Amino acid sequence: MQLTRDRKAWLEGPGAACNSRPEHNPRPRRLVLLGAPGVGKGTQAEMLCAKLGACHLSTGDIFRAAKAIGACERSPALAAALQYMRRGELVPDETVLALVSERVNCLKCEGGFLLDGFPRTVAQAEALEQLLKKNKLSLDAVVSYELPIEQIVARLSGRRTCPQCKAVFHIDALPPKLPGICDHCGATLYQREDDRPESVRVRMEAYETSTAPLTAFYSSRGLLCPVSAEGAPKEICARTLEELRNRNP
């Protein structure tokens, strides 16, 4: 199956068209991915997309791509989102929903989708449910990657970042050839403030507080699919696919 990799329509909005489209998939998967920072959700999204032929739809990618879109080409929702971001504020539910609604054709993609970063609240989940229902679509599952907090702290606090080329290393999992030195440009690596153990714990507490109602919401819908995020990425991907097969043969 040919995978839509450029996601142009998702990144730029309804006026853009993807350069490639997946072939018709008789069993497209429509999934939401949940997981705390450090569980490897982004890696799993890419691996699952390759296996399922689905498209990775990350709202974070929309925000990152928005800065490269000319002011005249931005939709009102995108312009509003950028204003919130420039002020260092969270983008409110109604603006995020407007961005997703503009891209509803991406949700209709015949290859299926993996939504990442949305929904983040019960209000967003309810709005997504209505949007999908309006377009005669429904979710297959909500995959929630789970990992003990001590392992998350170890993963994130071990990260080291290059201030020049932005490459990321890990003192255990992906160490540089020379301790503390970037393999690519030779700059001195540093530990980001939000990767320090105390910061990670604060982020985890905030995540748990905001996500608990969301997991309860999807559990009540019979959609929640908890998956252990322990082990190597390939093992986690295989575990996820097995859970999805068991849920929707």
pLDDT along the chain (249 residues), means of 10: 63 79 75 92 91 90 84 87 88 92 91 92 94 96 94 92 93 93 96 92 87 93 96 94 87
Is 74 in the active site? no
pLDDT for 22 = 60
pLDDT for 4 = 41
pLDDT for 3 = 43
- How many CB atoms lie under 10 A from the CB of residue 73? 12
Name the helix (H) or strand (E) containing 46: helix 41-52
Annotated active-site residue in 29, 30, 103, 120:
120
- Rounded-to-integer distance, Cα 78 and Cα 84, Å: 10
Closest by alpha carbon to 152, among 38, 22, 55, 5? 38
Annotated active-site residue in 64, 133, 134, 192:
192
pLDDT for 69 = 84
Structure letter (DSSP) for residue 137: -
pLDDT for 74 = 86
Annotated active-site residue in 41, 103, 155, 160:
41
pLDDT for 20 = 63
For the chain, the C-alpha Rg in angstroms (whole number) is 19
- Enter the pTM of the model: 0.85
pLDDT for 111 = 87
Annotated active-site residue in 7, 30, 159, 160:
159
pLDDT for 2 = 39
Asked if residue 44 belongs to a domain, the reply is yes
Asked if residue 52 belongs to a domain, the reply is yes
Asked if residue 3 belongs to a domain, the reply is no
Domain with 140, as residue range(s), is 8-147+207-247
Residues 141 and 174 in one domain: no
Is 234 in the active site? no
Asked if residue 200 belongs to a domain, the reply is no
Q: In total, how many domains does the chain have?
A: 2
- Rounded-to-integer distance, Cα 80 and Cα 87, Å: 11
Chain position carrying tokens 């080329």: 165
Residues 84 and 23 in one domain: yes
Residues 164 and 139 in one domain: no
Residues 106 and 14 in one domain: yes
Residues 56 and 169 in one domain: no
Residues 78 and 61 in one domain: yes
pLDDT for 21 = 62
Is 221 in the active site? no
